[in-house]
Amino acid sequence: MQQADLAPLIDHTVLGPETTMANVRRVLDEAESWGMNVCIPPCYVAEAREYATPETTVATVVGFPHGQHAPPVKRREAIQAEADGADELDVVLNVGRLKAGETDAVTEELAAIVEAVSLPVKVIVEATLLAPDVLVAAGEAAQAAGADFLKTSTGFADGGATVADVETLAEYLPVKASGGIGSYEDAVRMIDAGAERIGASSGVAILEGAPD
């Protein structure tokens, strides 16, 4: 895959606990230079939208990183992100409730967020923590809630995106592979498995490894 084809598939990401607006500006500059999207903390979305070019897609996170905010809080966070100028939302589902078999509650929470905003919603399932049958339940819940994408992980749990997880999730919705993707070869493996987006803090390194 050529650089120009790969770049729009990458959400160049900075989401660490020490992230500053200076970090966000750097990521925005790199994204603009290479043609990538960005994924940034919600507290910086309004400033980022003012700084970024209109063409830059700005995604942010909701319920990050554990997904255990009260449902009304997550819904309000999504509404605020849209008001601040976010273009897409990456929403962490409640892994604890999912693993406990409370799939109706998970679906209802996600559906309320989807209904509350006009933005594309990617549901982060933290696949590395889920047994295969629970991963399937996550895909079913996100699909039933009307989400637009499934995303493999936050990047803050042990492990990262795997080919097997991408293949499973792709049976339900388009997939954003995220977590541990640090090279062009990693990105291509995920895309070959069915991923349609890549989330990575190493977006520049990935593209530098791609043929131009």
Q: Which residues are catalytic?
A: 90, 151, 176
Question: If you write DSSP's letter for every residue of 64-82 in order, what string do you get?
Answer: TTT--S-HHHHHHHHHHHH
Sign of the torsion formed by the C-alpha atoms of 41, 18, 190 and 7: positive
**Rounded distance, CA 148 to CA 1, Å?**
24
In sequence order, the 6+-apart residues with CB closer than 8 A to the CB of 60 are 39, 40, 41, 42, 45, 81, 86, 88, 89, 90
C-alpha to C-alpha distances, 132 to 24, 88, 99, 128, 196, nearest whole angstrom:
35, 27, 11, 10, 21
